[in-house]
Structure 1
Amino acid sequence: MSKRTAPAATAVAYLRVSTEEQATSGAGLAAQRAAIEAEATRRGLTIVEFFSDEGISGKAIANRPALAEAIAAVEAGQAESLMVAKLDRLSRSVADASRLLDQASRNGWRVLSADLAVDQTTPAGEAAASMMIVFSQLERRLISQRTKDALAQKRAQGVRLGRPSETPAEVTRRIVDAKARGLSLRAIAAELSEAGIATARGGMWRASTVKAVLDSQDAAALAK
């Protein structure tokens, strides 16, 4: 839908954090929100709604429900623009981010980044955004390679990998069994919540907390 149907000077905001620690503590989300609000004020924009994906990698756009909702909002004419704190919050994949920028251009809305004060609907702005995405993807791949090399070295030294779990053994077993049955992380979280089972810290289950249990040493031992 054309941005001309949207309220003038409006944007929806998208936030993303990629680690379990950030998703649990909120660190990172608050900083992104503050950056977006400051840039929106500078540009004279009103943020009509915030969407956030917690504990989700920036490797690809797929399987990010909050981002899908944010895109749907601007496509439906609820706002003129989609704003992020940094372009790598959208994706660290050149192909994915380029497709999204192209979708925005075709459908008459903008992608705005608080750390890149350019108009990405212009050729120069599009080029600047593309370069930022390229270097973001490079950074992700370098980090991934360094991590793989470090883990391979630890395995060679006989180090047991994975974090110790604070989750009771019976709950860990239930999660491992549910995953083996083919349930998604969200479905497992819903099942645990419906059963009245709290997380190790007494909170609600989310896909990110289920994944943290599955990544633990206890879960790895049960899955063998």
Structure 2
Amino acid sequence: MAKGFSNKAAIYIRVSTSEQVTEGVSLDAQLAKLTTYCQQAGLEVVAVIRDEGVSAGKLLIQREGGAKLLEMIHRKEVTHVVALKLDRLFRNAGDALSTIDRWDGGGVTTHLIDFMGGQTLDTRSPMGRMMLGIAATFAQFERDLCGQRTKDALRHKKQNRQAYSPTPLGYVRDGSNLVANATEQAIITVIKSLRLAGKSLRAIATELTQRGLKTKRGGSWYASTIKAILSNDLHYSPG
């Protein structure tokens, strides 16, 4: 099917759990904007696909609505995909560029209506595809910055014994601060001693279980649990 042969469009809207009450991002707000755009662009909306409470960390195929959208594209039921922003559809820049390139090759146009300050963009022209590539790169850059800010904030909390989630073994919460718990600190001492003695993570987990010692939540010990404890800079500094 040649690109642009059909004007049948699928509107895709997504919101994460934390965004559901955010003004301008809610599903209803997205749908209103996208419907108006389709009317003005002469696109026939044949499907409105929703992913509610779904993180951008998931690929389209991993989302219920996203999988439905991909199936419609595969069956040639739509030749236009309309979304608010790049991050509504895709997990990261690489995912966006590879998916859109594949859609372009199959005659499917991607439309973004809130692009870099409220401009609209579609991939029917070389300029549109170039601008999309630039936007994808900047979107990934912003996500990376956000991730780094989160890591820095967590490191600051740890260094200043401020509470964070989940509360690590060895500490209890006292308001916004972490206070050492003697019983749990003793378990950490045992773990560090066994590790320094050359025990493997799995062997340490087994020994703690045999000793009848409990995890933070009273569950079973696993090698991954021991690794997380030793990796927490509140507990352990390799040297």
Deviations 1:103-140 (A, max 9, x none): 11111111111124333132111001111111111111
Segments of 5+ residues of structure 1 without an aligned counterpart are: 164-219
Identity of aligned residues (%): 27
Matched, 1:132 2:135: yes
Greater RCO, CA 8 A, separation 6+: 1
Matching residue of 1:48: 46
Structure 2: stretches of 5+ with no match in the other structure: 167-215, 220-224, 226-239
Q: How many residues align?
A: 166
Question: Given that residues 92 and 136 in structure 1 are in contact (C-alpha distance below 8 angstroms), is that contact kept between their aligned partners in structure 2?
Answer: no
Task: From the superposition, tell whether residues 222 and 63 of structure 1 become closer, same or farther in structure 2 (CA, over 3 Å).
Answer: farther
TM-score, reference length from structure 1: 0.64
Residues 1:146 and 1:222: Cα distance change in structure 2 (over 3 Å) = farther
Where do 4+ consecutive residues of structure 1 move more than 4 Å? 3-6, 23-27, 220-224
Larger C-alpha radius of gyration, 1 or 2? 2
Residue in structure 2 matched with residue 112 of structure 1 by the alignment = 111
Deviations 1:44-90, CA, capped at 9 Å, x for gaps: 21221122223333245252231121121122122221110112211
Where do residues 46-85 of structure 1 align in structure 2 (5 Å cutoff)? 46-61=44-59, 63-85=62-84
2: CA distance, partners of 1:150 / 1:221:
25
Closer/same/farther in 2, CA of residues 150 and 80 from structure 1, 3 Å limit: same
Moved more, 48-57 or 106-115: 48-57
Please state if 1:147 is matched with 2:150: yes
What amino acid does structure 2 have at the position aligned with 1:21?
A: S
Call closer, same or farther: CA 1:146–1:4 in 2, change over 3 Å: closer
Instruction: State the alpha-carbon separation in 1 of the partners of residues 29 and 83 from structure 2.
Output: 11
Contact 1:36 1:83 in 2 (8 A): yes
User: Does structure 2 retain, via aligned residues, the 8 Å contact 1:11–1:45?
Assistant: yes
Contact 1:92–1:133 at 8 Å: present in 2 too? Answer: no
Q: Distance in 1 between matches of 2:50 and 2:15?
A: 8
Q: What is the alpha-carbon distance in structure 2 between the residues aligned to residue 138 and residue 5 of structure 1?
A: 32
> Which residue pairs with 1:22 in the alignment?
19
Report the TM-score, using the length of structure 2 for normalisation. 0.60
Q: 1:222 to 1:50 in 2, by over 3 A?
A: farther
Q: How does 1:155-166 map to 2 (within 5 A)?
A: 155-162=158-165
Q: Secondary structure at the match of 1:118?
A: strand
Q: Which amino acid aligns with 2:145?
A: L
The 1-side partners of 2:147 and 2:42 are apart by 38
Which shifted more, 145-154 or 110-119?
110-119
1:99 paired to 2:98: yes
8 A contact 1:3–1:79 mirrored in 2: no
